Amino acid sequence: MATKKIETVCGYSCTGCDHHKKECPGCEATRGKPFWTALANVECCPVYDCCVNERKLPHCGKCPDLVCERFTRFKDPGMTDEQAADCLAAMERELRARG
């Protein structure tokens, strides 16, 4: 059985994202500046910026501060609070499994 590839430093998988490969090639390809940063009025994804640019980590699973406020700062407006919490929990599980 193949393991699902994690495509972001935060543990979110771009595979199911409607924007992936259309207006967004993913955070690695954009160096933390995916399409939504313009919508959120930020220069760079705060999770990517902290993990890769500041802490020089390959992913947040290596960070002793996982899960920090950067994960909860932005929420997809199309998600309920429960859906956002479930997504966050899945991201954390993925990252902790990566170690």
What is the rounded CA–CA span in Å between residue 46 and residue 80?
Answer: 22
Say if CB 20 and CB 14 are below 8 A apart.
Answer: yes
What is the rounded CA–CA span in Å between residue 39 and residue 26?
Answer: 16
**pLDDT tens for each residue of 38-82:** 988 999 999 999 999 999 999 999 999 999 999 888 888 888 999
What is the rounded CA–CA span in Å between residue 44 and residue 37?
Answer: 6
Say if CB 41 and CB 33 are below 8 A apart.
Answer: no
Question: Across all residues in the chain, what is the average pLDDT?
Answer: 87
Which residue would you say has higher pLDDT here, 76 or 93? 93
